[in-house]
Every structure is written in C-alpha cells, then in structure tokens.
Amino acid sequence: MDLEARKRDFVKEFLQFQSEEVIKKFERFLKKTKEEESERNMTPLSIEEFRARIQGSLDDFEKGRVISNDALMNEYKQWR
C-alpha cells in the first residue's frame, strides 16, 4: 500500500473517533511531531544572519525591551 492510500485509510479511521480525549491526544501528537520535524529541517544561520540577530538583541536590551528572570518565572507559573 502506498503512502497516499495509507493516509486515506488513516483519515477514515480517525473520523470514526467520538472521544474528545482521543482527539486531544492526536492533536498533541501532531503538534509535537510538527515541532520535531521543524527542528530537523532547520538550516544554520549565515554569519551575517547571526550577527544581525546579536545586534537586534543588543538593541532590544538597550531600549529596555527585556523581561527579568523573576518576571518570566512568575509568568511561566501562571501558564501551568
């Protein structure tokens, strides 16, 4: 069976699920898989891009566009 046929069969099976919890599990799995795939497909920055990002970070710091570690940790605790 080729990949396209397998995908169609998978979708047909998926559409039969009635459990919201099962759907949530698939959503989490899909999100995690996409993130992992994205990480694998990352290309290294050129030296010019790297320097531009460093300069952007320095500009942000000089203009006060930063958040303290304590503030970030407090924000993180609210996400949970």
**pLDDT value at 22 more than 80:** yes
What pLDDT score was predicted for residue 39? 77
The overall longest dimension of the chain from CA atoms, in Å, is 58
Question: For 21-32, what is the mean pLDDT?
Answer: 91
For 28-80, write each residue's pLDDT tens digit.
999 999 888 887 777 888 999 999 999 999 999 999 999 999 999 998 888 87
What pLDDT score was predicted for residue 16? 92
**pLDDT value at 27 more than 80:** yes
H or E segment and range at residue 13: helix 3-15
Instruction: Enter the DSSP assignment of 46.
Output: P
What pLDDT score was predicted for residue 35? 85
